[in-house]
Amino acid sequence: MTERDVLSDYILHLADNSMILGQRCAEWCGHGPVLEQDIALTNIALDLIGEARSLYHYAADIKGGSATEDSEAFLRDVLQYRNCLLTEQPNTDWAYTIVRQFFYDTFHYHLHKQLSESSDARLKEIALKTIKESTYHLKWSSEWMIRLGDGTEVSKNKMQTAINDLWEYTGEFFIPSETETKALEMGIGADLSKIAPLWRSKVEEVMEEATLTIPASNYHQKGGKKGLHSEHLGYILAEMQYLQRAYPGAEW
């Protein structure tokens, strides 16, 4: 892989994470448990998709030719997406949504703290903007973890069930792909080995206050970074990409 290919693939990996999770969050629009949180999660979805747009635009500029932010988002197939498996897991209920968001927000925050020092000027600029948003996202999801975990018996059980089911998807954050390893060597990417203990420390802190238990299992699902996804991603892309595939080149 050339340095140009490494940068392009790394940018797409970052963009895909935010795009797919943004799509998942957007599914709550009009369905939130209360109006305030419906709006809050919709705004988080907009932040994530806005970040993805900036990254897709950058990836398209690197690729050149006919590539655009739209083609990167809407005209790649399932096997070409590089998002982590956690981001594509279904909402199921409010507890699953909060737990998924908290696990990702903790990682996302520390990831962009590192990327804000990237040697790539444009990626650094995107990261500096994103860190402001991810700080709020982490505060929001942390507060909901505590509120529900240390709430009623029903809310606590629902949260613990979601944690038990989603925990196996968190390890993939810290298993570097070939692209991530090369991006780090180039001074572009983040060092996942340094993020892992920071992520774990924050998760332990919040879950202790929430009176929730971290699963003992060390088994972790992986494959998303290589394009090996769960069945859920195909359904997300089918809905997300319908317009561009049905009406190629359509514009607002």
* Beta strands, E only, 117-162: none
pLDDT at residue 252, as a whole number: 65
Query: What is the pTM assigned to this prediction?
Result: 0.95
- Burial of 180-219, coded b for 16+ CB within 10 Å and e otherwise, reads bebbbeeebbbebeebbebbeebbeebbeebebeeeeeee
Tens digit of pLDDT for each residue in 221-235?
A: 999 999 999 999 999
Per-residue pLDDT of the chain (252 residues; tens, 9 = 90+): 788 889 999 999 999 999 999 999 999 888 777 777 878 899 999 999 999 999 999 999 999 898 999 999 999 999 999 999 999 999 999 999 999 999 999 999 999 999 999 999 999 999 999 999 999 999 999 999 999 999 999 999 999 999 999 999 999 999 999 999 999 999 999 999 999 999 999 999 999 999 999 999 889 999 999 999 999 999 999 999 998 888 887 776
Cβ 64 vs Cβ 128: under 8 Å: no
For domain 3-213+220-246, the CATH superfamily is: Ferritin, core subunit, four-helix bundle (1.20.1260.10)
